[in-house]
Amino acid sequence: MANTKNFLPPMTLSESEWFDKCPKAVLFEIARQFAMRVSDEFTADAAFATMQAEWQALHDNGIVPQKPAKVRDVPTILSKMHPEIRKFYDDNGNFVANT
């Protein structure tokens, strides 16, 4: 079976160069802003749900081979964190600076 982890759809040379230079955090924020525009609510939570549903639809229709990531709940994520990283988050999963 081919490695599908790094699957990329067909791109022009200009698109490929832009994609290579664009940080993942920027791509995420672009996606979230677009998802907010098409969501029922203009919130980050609604945008995240829309992005999850879109990834599932893309996979179900054979457009992307990667299966959607399974989203764990906050307590599970926090319990698996290394203590040096965990200290930067409160019990609700919010980042807290300089603790």
pLDDT higher for 8 or 46? 46
Is the pLDDT confidence value at 24 over 90?
Answer: yes
Helix (H, G, I), strand (E, B) or coil at 58: helix
Domain boundaries of the chain, sorted by first residue? 17-66, 69-99
Q: What does pTM read for this prediction?
A: 0.67
* Average pLDDT, rounded, for the chain: 88
Please report which confidence band the pLDDT of residue 10 belongs to, taking 50, 70 and 90 as the band edges.
Answer: confident
- 39-56 CB burial, b ≥16 within 10 A, e <16: beeeeeeebbbbbeeebe
Distance (Å, whole) CA 56 – CA 69: 9
pLDDT, tens digit, for every residue of 37-83? 998 888 988 999 999 999 999 999 998 899 999 889 999 999 999 99
Is the pLDDT confidence value at 6 over 70?
Answer: no
Distance (Å, whole) CA 53 – CA 37: 15
